[in-house]
Amino acid sequence: MGKKIFSGVQPTGNLHLGNYLGAIKNFVALNNDKENQCVFCVVDLHAITVKQDPRELRNNIRKIVAIFVASGIDPKKSIIFKQSTVPAHAEFAWILSCIARMGWLNRMTQFKEKAGKDKEKASVGLYSYPILMAADILLYEASHVPVGEDQKQHLELCRDIAQKFNNDFEVENFLKNPEPLILKEFSRIMSLKDGTKKMSKSEPSDLSRINLTDDKDSIINKIKKAKTDSLPLPSNSRDLEQRPEAKNLLGIYSSLNNSTLDKTIQTFEGKNFSEFKEKLTQVLVEKIDPISKEIKKLMNEKDFLDKIIEEGHEKADNIASKKVKKIHEIIGF
């Protein structure tokens, strides 16, 4: 039997190679399996947990849709929609915030990272963010949620919340327990400037990431400037443990080639970085440049993108509002 897939991406800034290799590439594979029912959400309610410029936000929402389509997600086969158009998300998030416990949220490492030193100044939304994420997933009865490694803890919280709701209201299996789908290798792509830090939209230096909208010349330049070490490439994965930059770049190469880290290590054993970087640039340009061109083309087709959002809204709202109706009955509203 096919899987019920749900995942979301925030419309904040540029999507990068980490988003692509950790999540979107997997969305495309799941979309291509005829048995699966996939729902992909542009999570604009999540985006406003930090301040957004309204004009930029509007543009970024369309950009995520363009990225989904340019990467190979078929809007006829999968539902692509905008979170804020389906009111059930915000409503169910409120209900679940009465189920989730403060102690559970206090453990979330992403909040600690994002709030930084001055937690008192973080928005309440940033704190309760994972509850909204749980609402997203549970409304669609997702069996599997494809995400990068950084979302693993949020998925575990989602399962705890579902369990407590079902127990509290004695409705066994009403909220379905989702499984995270995290790629075994390459589920955490690191910065090109520091192999110990995650590749991220919020990192100030653009040289730290490959954006999906980067053209050929920027890709060439960024790989040229990517941090390395002074040793030749190793012959086994054990020797990579102390070499985060080498490990990351070899991982990126493997993932783009749909290969394994071990095979890539065999190919480049004993070679120096300049030779490897040439090959890495080649495969990056080959895979990312066509997507980048397609994104730019689609961004000029606003009506086409808006139509996808509109059609997705209808289908998503239909599923979510039915679930909310049952939730009202269970709670006693």
Catalytic residues: 114, 198, 201
User: Which of 5, 30, 38, 43 is close enough to bind ligand TYM by CB under 6 A?
Assistant: 43
Closest CA to 131 of 106, 157, 169: 157
User: Which of 42, 93, 139, 145 is close enough to bind ligand TYM by CB under 6 A?
Assistant: 145
CB nearer to ligand TYM: pick between 189 and 288: 189
Contact between 147 and ligand TYM by CB under 6 A: the answer reads yes
Provide, rounded to whole angstroms, the least separation between the CB of residue 332 and ligand TYM. 27
Contact between 148 and ligand TYM by CB under 6 A: the answer reads yes
Contact between 133 and ligand TYM by CB under 6 A: the answer reads yes
User: Which of 7, 37, 49, 71 is close enough to bind ligand TYM by CB under 6 A?
Assistant: 7
Contact between 143 and ligand TYM by CB under 6 A: the answer reads no
Which residue do the tokens 């039915």 mark?
322
User: Which of 5, 9, 305, 327 is close enough to bind ligand TYM by CB under 6 A?
Assistant: 9
Closest CA to 49 of 104, 131, 106, 158: 131
Contact between 39 and ligand TYM by CB under 6 A: the answer reads no
Provide, rounded to whole angstroms, the least separation between the CB of residue 202 and ligand TYM. 9
Provide, rounded to whole angstroms, the least separation between the CB of residue 149 and ligand TYM. 6
Taking residue 86's Cβ as centre, other Cβ atoms within 10 Å add up to 26
Segment near ligand TYM (CB under 6 A), from 119-127, 141-149, 299-307, 310-318?
141-149
CB nearer to ligand TYM: pick between 99 and 270: 99
The residues of the shown chain that bind ligand TYM, judged by CB under 6 A, are: 6-10, 18-19, 22-23, 43, 46, 133, 136-137, 145, 147-148, 150-151, 187-189, 198-199
